[in-house]
Amino acid sequence: MKYTEMNLEAPLMRAVQELGFEEPTPIQEKTIPILREGRDLIGQSETGSGKTAAFGLPILEKIQPFTGLQAIILAPTRELADQIANNLAQFSKYKKCNILTVYGGVSINPQIKNIPKADIIVSTPGRTLDHLRRGTLNLSKIKFFVLDEADKMFEMGFVNDINAILSASPPHKQLIMFSATLNPDVQKLVHKRMKDPVTVKTSTHVSSTMLQQIYYNVERRDKFSLLVHIIKEENPELALVFCGTRTETHIVAKNLFKQDIAATALHGGLSQNKRNQVMADFKEGKIRVLVASDVAARGIDVKHLTHIINYSIPKTSKEYVHRIGRTARMGHAGVAISLLDEMDHNNFRNVLDDRSIKIEKRDTPEFKRIERLQQNFGGGNFRHGSGRRPFPRRQHSFGRRRSY
């Protein structure tokens, strides 16, 4: 099927064609007709499947610009909220819908001012609930409610927030949920909130055509040394390194920089302005290596991302697929490299329980050992980017309440 056969309204079709969309992805082809019928929907699809267009295009078709708030989309992180809003803005370029992002870490006053003018709000649960309690957000007339990455929001502790937000919305709305897994919290929400939903699932099979998957065994004390060797040998255009915790993320990024690798960390301890700057520098190639946790990496969608490196191994095959799905997109080749120390093997067995995942074992190369890693977080000239600009001294703040 071609997009020209889907009979999108003219303004959306014009934008889609300018973006180079010719054929809908499997999740788009299956989902768009169902959502056009007004049905509730549960979508299960991998990263990079085009799910924002899958729910965004049929919603945008039914939006009447400048008539008040008609749709809310909840996402687990600020980065994902920004990504969704940017995509919707591209799709509605010729329809001129007013799309607003609402999340914490930034001043609430501009949001209060702009909410009455919004047709669509893309938001995180915490700030949405804050506005509802203040009386600055009214969901009583919305027609569409989207939960993107519902399982991740529940894992992050937003179950009560989401239920409170749903309770503030009208019963007669179209409820759309995308979730990689249907865990008990998700299933409970489905039974309580959704009306005869249609389930759409696309394969999570990882193709070996464009994506090379390999792993190395390494002793824990040598793991960072091997990481440095791989980055310098592979010389990636852009690489995303996954770590297990915020602390590990910061330590790895800081020490990569000490090894003359243009790297920086992305985590919840950064201000929103700093997070935006980090992502802008990464997309522009000023930073070649971004070190992040799974939560902070939600919503990262970067062209020419050539390498995914698992410095820590995810706990499930679905999370592994979600990570590596950020590379090898749109016909471009990519590499996913996993570094296994003695603490990673249980998680790695969980990943390999998915028989569709084929990861090649490679002999561990000879590499120069780096004896000492800097562990402290204070001061220093921890810099990033091709221009060697120093980070502000207070960029990394720890011990604060985490916000997403």
Nearest alpha-carbon partner for 329 in 204, 211, 179: 211
**Tokens 């790695």 found at:** 348
* C-alpha–C-alpha distance, residues 306 and 327, integer Å: 6
Q: What SS3 string covers 230-248?
A: HHHHHCCCCEEEECCCHHH
Q: What is the pLDDT of residues 273-317, one digit of tens each?
A: 888 888 889 988 899 999 998 776 766 777 788 999 999 999 988
Tell me what percent of the chain is helix, strand and coil, each rounded to the nearest 5. Answer: 40, 15, 45
Percent of the chain with pLDDT over 90: 62
Q: What is the pLDDT of residues 47-63, one digit of tens each?
A: 667 889 999 999 999 99
Q: Per-residue pLDDT for 270 more than 90?
A: no
Nearest alpha-carbon partner for 225 in 110, 341, 142, 52: 341
To which H or E segment does residue 266 belong? strand 263-266
* C-alpha–C-alpha distance, residues 116 and 100, integer Å: 10
* C-alpha–C-alpha distance, residues 383 and 283, integer Å: 17
The strand pair at 383-384 and 389-390 is best described as antiparallel
Q: What is the pLDDT of residues 126-156, one digit of tens each?
A: 999 999 999 999 999 999 999 998 988 998 8
In this predicted structure, which of 14-23, 138-147, 198-207 has the lowest mean pLDDT?
A: 198-207
Q: Per-residue pLDDT for 380 more than 90?
A: no
Q: What is the pLDDT of residues 218-254, one digit of tens each?
A: 999 999 999 999 999 999 999 999 998 889 999 999 9
Q: Mapping DSSP to helix (H, G, I), strand (E, B) and coil, where does residue 361 land?
A: strand
Q: What is the mean pLDDT of residues 172-183?
A: 90
Spelled out in words, what is the top-level CATH class assigned to the domain 211-390? alpha beta
- What is residue 140's predicted lDDT score, i.e. its pLDDT? 94
Q: What is the pLDDT of residues 323-337, one digit of tens each?
A: 888 786 655 789 999
Superfamily of structural domain 3-201:
P-loop containing nucleotide triphosphate hydrolases (3.40.50.300)
- What is residue 399's predicted lDDT score, i.e. its pLDDT? 31
**Stated length of the chain:** 404
Percent of the chain with pLDDT over 70: 88
- The angle subtended at Cα 67 by Cα 64 and Cα 89, nearest 5°, is 55
Q: Per-residue pLDDT for 404 more than 60?
A: no
- What is residue 329's predicted lDDT score, i.e. its pLDDT? 66
- What is residue 398's predicted lDDT score, i.e. its pLDDT? 27
* C-alpha–C-alpha distance, residues 205 and 216, integer Å: 22
Q: Per-residue pLDDT for 390 more than 80?
A: no
**What is this structure's pTM?**
0.70
For 161, 205, 215, 237, 276, the CA distances from 288, given in Å and listed in that order, are 36, 28, 21, 7, 16
Q: Per-residue pLDDT for 391 more than 60?
A: no
Q: Per-residue pLDDT for 184 more than 90?
A: no
Q: What is the mean pLDDT of residues 92-96?
A: 94
**Tokens 């992002």 found at:** 101
Q: Domain boundaries in the chain?
A: 3-201, 211-390
Whether the domain at 3-201 and the domain at 211-390 fall into the same CATH topology: yes
Strands (E), 129-244: 144-148, 174-178, 198-201, 211-217, 239-242
Residues with Cβ within 8 Å of residue 131, at least 6 apart in sequence: 102, 108, 111, 112, 115, 137
Q: What is the mean pLDDT of residues 350-375?
A: 89
Provide the pLDDT confidence category of residue 392 given band limits of 50, 70 and 90: very low
